[in-house]
Structure 1
């Protein structure tokens, strides 16, 4: 019975993470579109958009998806910032390079698809594993 309950909890957590991920993507993409519409270059728009999605992720994943974790834990904050800092750098460079080859919004969509997978894997296996250690 315990295995079944834990599996159910992980499935619920996975669904929550993906719901938040969709919200983060919507925030990120909306801010990116607005910023480029206002005339910001792709790199500047990417930095602002990713930051907005990151704040949304930190708040909602820390409180809803992985609710038993204190969002003010220094190790959690450090891991979150490290992973998201890496993904910010990766996504910014990727948008900049891809925007030279394809339309900027196509570049953004391709980068989103990649960073969603990387973010989930890093969050589940590195950031929020603190939940298992507590």
Structure 2
């Protein structure tokens, strides 16, 4: 029975689903730090009197630079595309979710009257999964068909 369990664990760890889950977890870890950087900058600027939308833009730019570095180095290391092309795709991916989060932030703050410190946190439940999918299947997509994560 012990050999069967070892074989099952070995096959499970080599499966594409397992690798996809591990990659998503790595993306999540990078995302936590990225989000901390973005929101620390956002909150500091808001509390310093900067308009919340401008603070959102500045935090976003800092977050994208951080996310690109760590996703390229740690999460999507199988990518073979050039750094400039990949950075443009990453920036575009984050740009899509940034625009979505900005619209949602505006609606939640202006029309629903949600606090400016709570609204961005709720928006993460939409933007994080969307961002992972955009980065995985477009920005960092390997040119090789046999990618180990697909």
Into which bin does the TM-score normalised by the smaller protein fall? 0.7 to 0.9
Structure with greater contact order relative to length (CA < 8 Å, sep ≥ 6): 2
Q: Which residue of 1 aligns with 2:14?
A: 5
Larger-Rg structure = 2
Q: Which residue of 1 aligns with 2:63?
A: 53
Q: Which residue of 2 aligns with 1:116?
A: 128
Gaps of 5+ in 2: 1-9
**Distance across 2 between alignment mates of 1:123 and 1:132:** 16
Alignment check: 8 A CA contact 1:68 1:131 kept: no
Alignment check: 8 A CA contact 2:81 2:143 kept: no
The change in CA–CA distance for 1:117 and 1:10 in structure 2 (over 3 A counts) is closer
The change in CA–CA distance for 1:3 and 1:80 in structure 2 (over 3 A counts) is same
**Distance across 2 between alignment mates of 1:70 and 1:55:** 19
How far is 1:70 from its partner? 4.8
Alignment check: 8 A CA contact 2:89 2:139 kept: yes
1:20 paired with 2:30, answer yes
**Distance across 2 between alignment mates of 1:109 and 1:48:** 17
**Distance across 2 between alignment mates of 1:65 and 1:88:** 21
Please report the TM-score for the alignment, with normalisation by the length of structure 2.
Answer: 0.77
Mapping for residues 37-76 of structure 1, pairs under 5 Å: 37-70=47-80, 72-76=82-86
Choose 72-81 or 106-115, whichever is displaced more. 72-81
Please report the TM-score for the alignment, with normalisation by the length of structure 1.
Answer: 0.85
**Distance across 1 between alignment mates of 2:143 and 2:13:** 19
2:106 is aligned, of 86, 90, 96, to 96
Length, aligned pairs only: 134
**Distance across 1 between alignment mates of 2:81 and 2:127:** 22
